[in-house]
A = this chain, B = another copy of it.
Amino acid sequence: MSEHSRATIDDVAEKAGVSIATVSRVINKTGQVSEATTTRVWDAIAALDYSPHAAARGLASRRTNTIGLILQDISGEFFGPMLRGIEAGTREYGFDLLIHCTHKTENAEPRLSYPLSEHNSDGIIIFNESLAPHEIARLYRLQFPVVLLHRSPPAGLDIPYVGFENKLGARKLVDYLIDERGYRRIAFLSGPEGSEDSHWREKGYRESLAAHDIEIDPDLVVMGGFNEAQGLAAVGQLLTWGKPFEAIFAADDDSAIGALAGLKEAGLRVPEDVALVGFDDIRPSHYLTPPLTTVRAPIETAGREAVLQLINLIQTGKAEREILLPTELIIRRSCGALT
């Protein structure tokens, strides 16, 4: 941490022979400054390797030009595309992006964990369950701009959110399985406890079964955990219970990949013995043997949309209350289709 007096605005002002106000005007292009002065200031800036102190600007102007993103965990295939979308949005509007991962470590301090507070940023995007409801409520009370991504607002809070048409996507997928492929005993591999995405996908699954007069067998609904390992384990569990099933609908592709491994391990062929479908259409799904039938979720678009809404909120105070992005059925061989 060797400090050596980085140049400040005062140094620049002195070198250019003007006041700091003028330097500020030149840098921010606010107010009018003669051309000659402008040039002198830029020259001084270059000569001194000057760069404004972000914290000082933020303090003085109460704007940070930064958007915060809160998430709990960087993992899975989901993350990359999502961040790409978010970054694209922030870049487009000239904002910076500050990412904060909330720790799973349980609270030690009385309070004030200020994860990424209402001061570091002009607004924040909250992904999933990364922030406790009471913290969200707090930001809401402060009237701080917030957009939720892939989670709906806690009861009573009128906060915009962006997500997928999960229920409809799942519904179409299971309808297809029943109507076109003729399966009736379809297992469901749920996501982790509390996941909204999983919740709605399961709802779509149940609705479809109900609409086809198929009774739901609770033993066919097991935890897939949105990850490969648990997806694999889930198949083991299904097999152990011995209830017959013709198809598996994994609530996300990661658990579907695990399930595929589990089925192969058990000597079952996909789709001849058991059909398999997932949700999300992450990259590997296309390359599996057999390629995975799934529902494409516009992950990147959702991220971008969240940013757009947030920036609207910051700049105009208004945003769409709810944006649910449509999904698309992707039919591949794993469900028994010829393709």
Could you list which residues of chain A lie within 8 angstroms of chain B, going by C-beta atoms? 1-4, 6, 27, 42, 45-46, 49-56, 58-59, 62, 64, 74-77, 79-80, 83-84, 87, 91, 96-101, 103, 110-112, 114, 116-120, 122, 138, 141-143, 145, 257, 283-284, 287-289, 314-315, 317
* Contact A114 B51, CB 8 Å, known A4-B143, A96-B98, A103-B91: yes
A27–B84 Cα gap in the complex (Å)? 36
A99–B67 Cα gap in the complex (Å)? 11
List 12 A-B pairs, Cβ < 8 Å.
Answer: A1-B314, A27-B112, A46-B110, A52-B112, A54-B58, A74-B80, A75-B80, A91-B101, A97-B99, A97-B101, A283-B284, A284-B287
* Contact A52 B119, CB 8 Å, known A27-B112, A74-B83: yes
> Which residue on chain B has the smallest CB distance to residue A120?
B54
8 Å CB contact of A1 from B116, B117, B283, B315:
B315
> Which residue on chain B has the smallest CB distance to residue A76?
B80
Q: Is the CB of A2 within 8 A of B317?
A: yes
- Name the residue in A1, A42, A111 with the highest tally of chain B Cβ atoms < 10 Å from its Cβ: A1
Q: Is the CB of B64 within 8 A of A74?
A: no
Residues of B within 8 A of A54 (CB): 55, 58, 114, 117, 119-120
CB proximity of A48 to chain B, nearest CB, Å: 11
CB proximity of A311 to chain B, nearest CB, Å: 11
* Contact A97 B97, CB 8 Å, known A50-B112, A55-B58, A141-B49: no
Residues of B within 8 A of A314 (CB): 1
CB proximity of A161 to chain B, nearest CB, Å: 19
A262–B75 Cα gap in the complex (Å)? 31
> Which residue on chain B has the smallest CB distance to residue A88?
B74
> Which residue on chain B has the smallest CB distance to residue A59?
B55
- Name the residue in A45, A77, A120 with the highest tally of chain B Cβ atoms < 10 Å from its Cβ: A120
Q: Is the CB of B52 within 8 A of A138?
A: no
CB proximity of A61 to chain B, nearest CB, Å: 10
CB proximity of A316 to chain B, nearest CB, Å: 9
> Which residue on chain B has the smallest CB distance to residue A52?
B114
> Which residue on chain B has the smallest CB distance to residue A4?
B143
Residues of B within 8 A of A87 (CB): 74, 99, 101
* Contact A98 B101, CB 8 Å, known A42-B110, A118-B6, A283-B284: no
Q: Is the CB of A119 within 8 A of B51?
A: yes
